[in-house]
Amino acid sequence: MRLLNKSTISRRTFLKTGTVTALGLTIMGPMIIGKDKSWAATFSNIGADDAATLIQMARDIYPHDFLADKYYAKVIQGYDSAAGKDKALKSMISKECKKINSSAKKKYKNNYRMINREVERVDILKSNTKSPLFAKVRGDLVTGLYNNKEVWPKFGYEGESASKGGYLNRGYNDIDWLDKV
């Protein structure tokens, strides 16, 4: 017979640990953990549900299957900090997320971010292209996502070349894909 060394936890230890964990979560605020559990983001001003809706919305506006959600979440975290200072922005995000979720529930019987098919989520977004939130997310993602140096290698972009002598001496004429005449 094999004996296992079972460690027991006392009631007092359990309560202490649980209290510290609960306190930590309360201080940090609502958190979103990525599907693959490789990243997490904390949102203290706009709330986790609205943040998750915005992240899904960002993915649907600029879909790149090879980019992880964390790159989109980084842009949305900027909204969270801005919403802490700007009550109008916070209100607009809340109101527009409710509107998008309401449209999704009417048409597909689920919240926007819970709809599995991208085509159906894009359909909801198309009906909301005139909303100020859609315009803001679409505009901010251009710089927030594509100016992120972490994603440049994923797109095959090496970065600016002025500090490396410019493009002229770094492959400007590398057109080996073109037939030579």
Domain locations in the chain as residue ranges: 39-149
Which burial class, exposed, middle or buried, applies to 92 when counting CB atoms under 10 A from its CB (0-12, 13-18, 19+)? middle
Q: How many CB atoms lie within 10 A of CB 82?
A: 15
| Cβ 90 vs Cβ 46: under 8 Å | yes
Residues 4 and 78: their CA atoms lie apart, in Å, by: 50
Q: What is the pLDDT of residues 51-84, one digit of tens each?
A: 999 999 999 999 999 999 999 999 999 999 999 9
| Structural contact between residues 31 and 42, judged by C-beta atoms closer than 8 angstroms | yes
pLDDT digits (tens, 9 = 90+) for 2-18: 444 445 566 666 565 55
Average confidence (pLDDT) over 15-27: 51
pTM over 0.85: no
Q: What is residue 17's predicted lDDT score, i.e. its pLDDT?
A: 59
The residue written with tokens 């970065």 in the block is 159
